[in-house]
């Protein structure tokens, strides 16, 4: 790249714009963060990720002024339009939730939204929080290189919450292996979440050893976790919530075969490593198709009677929910 081209790309980089648009279309992130756009990324990144936030602002205004009972509706937009016309000028417009810096652009946003709602015959829009306002997609760009921001976050949580690293690695490794072998086409994103759930499944012990899986699910659902989307955090929390204890609490989720496989793989890993010590992992086979097929080395089970007992209880829980296990050779 010559100096002239470098200077031009400092002002506007078409390759950076196209790459970011491709990442946005592929992953649909909820937020982005720019650390530094110069010299190669350029302000083009802002245009690739821009979001005005008008939809969220309109929804707040409609709700807080009793123009709608939540969300954006044609009736609510019409009532807001009448209020604005009655005011005559933006300086005289008094509305709850209307910020001063947004007032001058409210009419334009309202006009576009009203036209879109009318043209598409939309009855209601419920905007979501989070907008692409800032920078280089730290998490998504990391996923295309050797460093995934989610892995960095998981490592930081292990340190911050004092998680037993050895136990976390034992559970994570076995859970990930079982999940990848359980299905003919395992979801690669869910496979990574199973791995991280294994690493973080004891995070709730920082609050209490009793029901630590419930505390852990709460932490993972609500903590700031750079790199993880809200959907990924919810799935991670679900896996940790269901990693032990009764299955009834996650019964609605296991209708999805991928989630069923993920939960069962994690629960089996936690169960096999219940003694929290290094052991020679036995031959285990887990297959999930029309039914669950499970096999484990019988000689190993005979030498570990408590694990045998726990597996029998686990098998009974799945059978009670309509998912019996069929025996298979490991």
* Domains of the chain with CATH codes: 3-51+132-141 (no CATH), 54-120 (no CATH), 148-327 (1.10.3210.10)
Look over the chain and give the mean of its residue pLDDT values, rounded to a whole number: 84
More confident residue, 142 or 189: 189
pLDDT at 129 > cutoff 60: no
Report CA 177 to chain centroid distance, whole Å: 21
- Alpha-carbon distance of 60 to 295, in angstroms, equals 55
Helices (H), the chain: 3-11, 14-27, 44-49, 54-64, 74-87, 103-120, 138-143, 149-160, 165-182, 188-200, 212-222, 230-241, 257-272, 298-303, 305-320
pTM of the model: 0.60
**What's the confidence (pLDDT) of residue 178?**
96
pLDDT in tens, 148-157: 788 889 999 9
Q: What pLDDT, in 10s, does the model give residues 194-218?
A: 999 999 999 999 999 889 999 999 9
Predicted local confidence at residue 148, as pLDDT: 76
Cα 205 to Cα 100, 202, 208, 260: the distances in Å are: 46, 6, 5, 25
Residue 4: pLDDT over 70: no
pLDDT band of 59, cuts 50, 70, 90: confident
Percent of the chain with pLDDT over 90: 50
Confidence of residue 130 (pLDDT cuts 50, 70, 90): very low
Interval 172-198: pLDDT, tens:
999 999 999 999 999 999 999 999 999
What's the residue count for the chain? 330
pLDDT of residue 116: 86
Give the tens place of pLDDT for each residue, 257-295: 999 999 999 999 999 999 999 989 999 999 998 899 999
Residues 133/50, Cβ–Cβ less than 8 Å: yes
By CB neighbour count within 10 A (0-12 exposed, 13-18 middle, 19+ buried), where does 45 fall? buried
Q: What is the CB-side half-sphere exposure of residue 85 using CA atoms within 13 A? A: 8
Residues 99 and 210: their CA atoms lie apart, in Å, by 46
Backbone angles phi, psi at 34, to 5 degrees: -90, 125
Give the model's pLDDT for residue 252: 87
Q: In this model, does residue 144 exceed pLDDT 60? A: no
Which position has the higher pLDDT, 123 or 35?
Answer: 123
What pLDDT is recorded for position 270? Answer: 96
326: β partners: 293
DSSP annotation string for 262-311? HHHHHHHHHHHTTT-S---PPPEEEEESSSEEEEE-HHHHHH-HHHHHHH
pLDDT classification of 98: cutoffs 50, 70, 90 = confident
**pLDDT above 60 for 92:** yes
Residue 286 contacts residue 181 (beta carbons within 8 Å): yes
- What pLDDT does residue 133 have? 41
The reported pLDDT for the residue numbered 54 is 65
**In this structure, is the dihedral angle defined by the CA atoms of residues 113, 119, 123 and 129, taken in order, positive or negative?**
negative
Are 228 and 220 in contact by the 8 Å Cβ rule? The answer is no
Residue 135: predicted pLDDT: 37
State how far Cα 183 lies from the chain centre.
22
Residue 23's closest CA among 178, 132, 173, 172?
A: 132
Residue 258: per-residue pLDDT: 94
**Digit-coded pLDDT (tens) for 8-34:** 555 667 777 777 767 766 665 545 666
Would you call 174 helix, strand, or coil by DSSP? helix
């Amino acid at each position: 790249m010559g100096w002239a081209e470098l200077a031009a790309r400092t002002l506007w980089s078409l390759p950076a714009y196209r790459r970011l648009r491709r990442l946005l279309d592929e992953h649909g992130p909820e937020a982005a963060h720019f650390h530094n756009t110069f010299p190669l990324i350029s302000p083009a990144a802002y245009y690739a990720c821009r979001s005005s936030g008008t939809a969220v602002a309109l929804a707040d205004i409609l709700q807080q002024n009793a123009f709608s009972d939540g969300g954006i509706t044609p009736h609510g937009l019409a009532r807001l339009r009448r209020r604005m016309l009655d005011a005559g000028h933006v300086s005289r417009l008094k509305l709850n939730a209307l910020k001063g810096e947004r007032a001058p652009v409210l009419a334009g946003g309202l006009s576009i939204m009203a036209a879109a709602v009318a043209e598409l015959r939309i009855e209601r829009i419920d905007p979501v929080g989070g907008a692409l306002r800032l920078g280089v997609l730290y998490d998504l760009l990391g996923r295309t290189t050797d460093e995934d921001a989610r892995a960095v976050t998981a490592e930081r949580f292990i340190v911050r919450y004092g998680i037993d690293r050895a136990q976390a690695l034992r559970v994570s490794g076995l859970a990930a292996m079982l999940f990848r072998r359980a299905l003919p086409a395992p979801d690669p994103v869910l496979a990574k979440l199973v791995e991280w759930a294994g690493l973080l499944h004891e995070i709730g012990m920082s609050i209490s050893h009793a029901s630590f899986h419930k505390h852990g699910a709460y932490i993972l659902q609500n903590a700031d976790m750079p790199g993880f989307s809200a959907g990924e955090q919810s799935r991670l929390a679900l896996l940790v919530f269901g990693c032990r204890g009764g299955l009834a609490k996650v019964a609605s989720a296991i209708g999805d075969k991928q989630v069923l496989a993920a939960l069962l793989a994690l629960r089996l890993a936690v169960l096999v490593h219940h003694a929290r010590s290094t052991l020679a992992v036995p031959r285990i086979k887990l297959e999930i198709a029309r039914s669950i097929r499970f096999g484990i080395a019988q000689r190993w089970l005979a030498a570990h009677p408590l694990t045998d007992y726990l597996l029998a209880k686990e098998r009974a829980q799945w059978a009670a929910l309509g998912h019996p296990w069929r025996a298979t050779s490991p």
